[in-house]
Amino acid sequence: MDLNLLTVASTSTAIAERATTATQLAEGFYKKIEAEDGDVHAYLTLAKERALAQAARIDALAVKGDPLPPLAGVPVAVKDVMVTRGVRSTAGSKILGNYIPPYDATAVARLEEAGAVILGKTNCDEFAMGSSNENSAYGPVRNPRDKSCVPGGSSGGSAACVAAGTAVAALGSDTGGSIRQPAAFCGVVGLMPTYGRVSRYGLIAFASSLDHIGPLTKTVKDSALILRVIAGRDPLDSTSAEVPVPNYLEQIEKPVQGLRIGIPKEYFAEGLDPEVRAAVETAIARLEEAGCKAVPISLPHTRYAVPTYYLVATAEASSNLARFDGVRYAYRSKAARSLSQMYRNSRDEGFGAEVKRRIMLGTYALSAGYYDAYYLKAQKVRTLLTRDFENAFQSVDAIVTPTTPTPAFKLGEKADDPLAMYLADIYTVTADLVGIPGISVPCGRSKSGLPIGVQILGRHFDEATILRLGHAVEHSLA
């Protein structure tokens, strides 16, 4: 069995048909990780004991002939910003270097209840702050498609392990693009569900009004299968929504004929790489051939999205990260002689440069005298951005754009230029601010062989339509 070719769908079928066992698969993946993950560095921690125990449970069910859960034996990886009971969870930070959580994030627990085998935790930018995975305290991830390039971020390890075939699927988190952007850079599918669709319980918080959990997979169908399992109301997260979860698998097979897709002119303007433009335009042409109607639209406040995001996200981060003080858990500096020095030293030694930059920016934006000018203003612009989309969705069913302005860039290329790095998210941050779902689907390659992604955005809670369009793109380009 070629592990590289396995999808969520084919793995669960192979297990159900007893063509392999969950234990054989898990062991096969660990061998593959050992042999191949060295220079990619997608994994931070392997969860062998827990994975093999789960695999044994699945195999016991299969032997008895009991009905198997939907993801039985599927080997998945989880971004290290989600807590896992008994398995180290660092969020890519030194400050959580020894943190072994006593509980599971709801998304992780639901995956396991559905039979998935959690292989380990994936590398990411520290506290999910970054677009290249170079902000991990544990060293960068390399793009498996071209190891001189970044995999994108912050879910770089999750995208890379799916692209490299060292996991069948992975969970990531998206606050400003962190699922969709690395998916585009690594040539895999990345789905950010609607805000409230998937519980955030157990997600180490970056910016609570923007954080989302979602799947990274090889196919759109696999994203649909995983979303179905992790979605739905969770009493442990008061922002998770009481909205019924459809059977996405049935939905994606429906024809796309008659769907209206909006093409926002602001996303095809200056700064867009010509090869990315051409690939995305081809994907749009294929959707038109399948019977979609492409409609030119305008999202007039687009140019304010990046500055708005960097005010809201940093403000929330500065508050969320206040809990890391060296007292209750996590890293504590040994050098301090007083309580306040202990706080200061623990944070100074435990956080990396980008995290400190964000805490300072956010604290400034929230401080007396600046709150109205920055934070409050940003929240108002957020409302304007939401209206842009409300208006657009009156005349279209989905919006199609590039996921990123360029294909993957070289390691080190933007590492010293935070502004250039922030602009890598120019097409993705708005959906997080507005709370709508978005998916990135591979739609071609640059001349040098780097993957390109097309982004499809949908109405609140309408993942079904963007999955359906994504599925159509995937099949029309295959």
| Nearest-angstrom CA–CA distance, 121 and 127 | 14
Q: Between 284 and 311, whose beta carbon lies closer to ligand GLN?
A: 311
* CB of 193 vs ligand GLN, minimal distance in Å: 14
Q: Is 194 in the site for ligand GLN (CB under 6 A)?
A: no
Tell me the CA distances in angstroms from 128 to 57, 155, 156, 283, 367, one per residue in order: 33, 7, 10, 30, 24
Give the Cβ contact number of residue 111 at 10 Å: 25
Active-site pick, 12, 32, 79, 173: 79
Q: Which is nearer to ligand GLN, 107 or 128 (CB)?
A: 128
* Contacting range for ligand GLN; rule: CB under 6 A; set: 82-90, 129-137, 157-165, 389-397: 129-137
* Residue listed under structure tokens 């992604």: 453
CB 166 within 8 A of CB 159: no
User: Number of helices and strands (H, E) in the chain?
Assistant: 16, 11
Is 191 buried (19+), middle (13-18) or exposed (0-12) by CB count in 10 A?
A: buried
Residues numbered 402 to 431 that lie near ligand GLN (CB under 6 A) are 425
AA letter at 62: A
x/- binding map, residues 204-223, to ligand GLN, per CB under 6 A?
Answer: --x-----------------
Q: Is 177 in the site for ligand GLN (CB under 6 A)?
A: yes
Task: Based on the shown chain and the rule CB under 6 A, indicate whether residue 438 belongs to the binding site for ligand GLN.
Answer: no
Catalytic residue flag (residue 154): yes
Among residues 175, 240, 346, 440, the one that binds ligand GLN under rule CB under 6 A? 175
Q: Is 457 left (phi over 0), alpha (psi -120 to 50) or beta?
A: beta
23, HSE (Cβ side, Cα atoms, 13 Å)? 11
Choose the catalytic residue: 93, 131, 136, 178.
Answer: 178
Catalytic option among 131, 136, 154, 346: 154
Per CB under 6 A, 174 contacts ligand GLN: yes
Known catalytic membership, residue 79: yes
**410: β partners:** 149
Quick one: which of 162, 183, 305, 313 contacts ligand GLN (CB under 6 A)? 313
Name the segment binding ligand GLN (CB under 6 A); options: 174-182, 218-226, 227-235, 398-406. Answer: 174-182
Contact positions toward ligand GLN, by CB under 6 A? Answer: 128-131, 154, 174-178, 206, 313, 425
Q: What residues are labeled active site?
A: 79, 154, 178
